[in-house]
Amino acid sequence: MYNFFSPIQITPQGWLKDQLTIQAKGLAGNLDKMWPDVRDSAWIGGNREGWERVPYWLDGFIPLAFLLRDQDMIARAEKYITSILDRQCKDGWIAPCSVEERASYDPWSLLLIGKVLAMTCEFTKDMPEKKELWKRTEKGLLKAMECLYNLMEEGTVKLFSWGKFRWFEGLIPLQYLQSRYRRDWIVKLGRMLQAQGADWPSFTDTWVRPINQWTFHTHIVNIGMMFKCEAVACALFGDEYTDRAEELWQILEKYNGTAAGCFTGDECLSGPDNNQGTELCSVNELMYSCEILYAVTGKSIWADRLEKLTFNALPATMSDDMWTHQYDQQVNQIACQRFPGRSHFRTNGSEAHLFGLEPNYGCCTANMGQAWPKFVLSAFRKTRTGIECPMMVPARLDTVIHGKQVVLSIDTAYPFRHTGTYTVTTTEPVRFTLKIRVPGWAKGCTVNGEKFGGRMIVLTRDWNGTETIEISFSDRPRLVNRPAKLKAVEYGPLLFALPIETEWKMREYEAGGVERKFPYCDYELIPQSEWRYGFASADFAVGEAAVDAVPFSSAAPAIRLHTRLAPVDWDYEDGFATVAAAAPVSDKAVGEAVDMTLVPYGCAKLRMTEMPVVKMKK
């Protein structure tokens, strides 16, 4: 669709496979067994939620199951897809509501289930053993979208609420159908969605100053999705791409950006302060937008942004075993404890930053599973002349070029190391071009020991047998500027933070008919060490360890930075006893500098990330 390879040609390896395996054994891999809104959903004939939660869950569960080749998970995914198709109306309507309810049923879930069905088709169309599932799913998708077209054409169904602000998500399944059928109504439906959908660039003046008010156009998940709207529209309609996404990113980054590469929003835009929250769903959707934008535009900046989100913001907001997650993460997060009075967050409740089954709201519970599997699918990009590798991640591609079998395998511990081995294996000689992206942070690059200058390694040759390419990127830890005259530390694609020793206080209970029971219970994170520090040195010594079975392990990080920090006078946010103020009272040291260790941001669930450069006592 967007220059992606067939997903069944891609296999995660190394630490990336470990990460997906953890997810499969955790919450996202088991919601159909224990969470009523998935287990008993109206989508499959039950009496629980029949809108976005099952489609959200399937959007991550399906690629996870197929990428891991897990036959039990594949069978469970197929059970849901066939159950949904079994309930599809004769006219093609697929959502679980009555004919009388159609006009008032928010069509967002129709667009989302369309994405899910299209993804199912992508995974099954090249699998002989799943031929019947593919045929039935594609037929169901075609009927569902044609039904939506007919109902919108006659005015029975119109975009409103979430569907109005997420209209472009419907272009993704339409692009799949158009690549297969070339029907006029497919493009017409896309144009109707566009015409009735929100005009995102018209809202930019509302992104400059946060307000404690919930709106669709400042909703951070809507914004995370929004970045790809022009790209998917151009892919379907053939319009000229004008790069509006970059303009919109610059505005949002200036007024709401975080050190972890995402934007504050809990749920709505929250400004530049490092103690504001970022909703997990927005990280997932930002990642997917970056994947689509790089696939459509080929601009390296989107791959750089994707890396930063994936290796920092994503793991930071989930427990190591991925059984619990936060709704909101904070860059400077010194505690995750319920606020006894009013919430610190602008538009979310007092438990949004707890780790649990469904803190604050269950949308992230359903949606948390899409990020890692879709990231794996972006490891390789099909080009007119061969293969491009946008991401240095451990993965394997089995494909055919000019009728010849080609296997490309990447062996790497990136982002914890900055080297990788690319192995190309062919059974017969075949000529093609292999491209390897050099990330924007890299200060230098070598290819098989030879210096390389540029941002794209291009190797065009006749490949035969087995050949290896050794790639190495160079960098040094660096302080980067943050608001309020604070600094953060980056090394390669990783953001680093001072970890705070943590007590995990478990809470098991039942609320609203939903049981929280270990391992999917709730936790408060209570700090057990000091957090009021600043940088007393700009020198950072790199320490490396083996990559753990938990890649972003809180207990055994694969990489550390050793430096010196000094205590500073830093108050709590006014009115709160568990939230650090956005900046210290002073950047003057109030004690002696001490040796401290920083860890990757994603490994530290309680952390100080943005800190001042301190002025030491004379």
Helix (H) or strand (E) holding 509: strand 509-511
Angstrom distance (rounded) from CA 20 to CA 257: 28
Angstrom distance (rounded) from CA 146 to CA 185: 7
Angstrom distance (rounded) from CA 274 to CA 608: 9
* Dihedral pair phi/psi, residue 157, rounded to 5°: -115, 130
Angstrom distance (rounded) from CA 63 to CA 75: 13
On whether residue 325 sits in a domain, the answer given is no
Burial of residue 383 (number of CB atoms within 10 Å: 0-12, 13-18, 19+): middle
Angstrom distance (rounded) from CA 293 to CA 298: 7
On whether residue 22 sits in a domain, the answer given is no
Cβ neighbours of residue 246 closer than 8 Å, sequence gap 6 or more:
299, 301
pLDDT of residue 3: 80
Burial of residue 230 (number of CB atoms within 10 Å: 0-12, 13-18, 19+): buried
Nearest to 381 by CA among 372, 369, 389: 389
DSSP 58: H
On whether residue 261 sits in a domain, the answer given is no
* Dihedral pair phi/psi, residue 519, rounded to 5°: -90, 0
State the residue range of the domain holding 404. 381-412+419-474
Beta-ladder partners of 445? 452, 473
* Dihedral pair phi/psi, residue 416, rounded to 5°: -80, -20
pLDDT of residue 562: 98
pLDDT of residue 2: 66
pLDDT of residue 617: 79
- Coil, helix or strand at residue 261: coil
Cβ proximity of 602 and 504 under 8 Å: no
On whether residue 267 sits in a domain, the answer given is no
pLDDT of residue 92: 98
Task: Give alpha helix (H) positions in 273-388.
Answer: 280-297, 300-308, 314-316, 363-367, 371-377
On whether residue 436 sits in a domain, the answer given is yes
Nearest to 75 by CA among 133, 34, 162, 16: 133
pLDDT of residue 40: 98
Cβ proximity of 242 and 262 under 8 Å: no
Its pTM stands at 0.97
| Number of structural domains in the chain | 1
On whether residue 14 sits in a domain, the answer given is no
Q: How far is CA 309 from CA 42, 372, 375, in A?
A: 34, 11, 11
Cβ neighbours of residue 10 closer than 8 Å, sequence gap 6 or more:
67, 376, 377, 379, 380, 395, 396, 397
Ranges of the chain with pLDDT below 70: 1-2, 618
On whether residue 563 sits in a domain, the answer given is no
Angstrom distance (rounded) from CA 602 to CA 459: 34
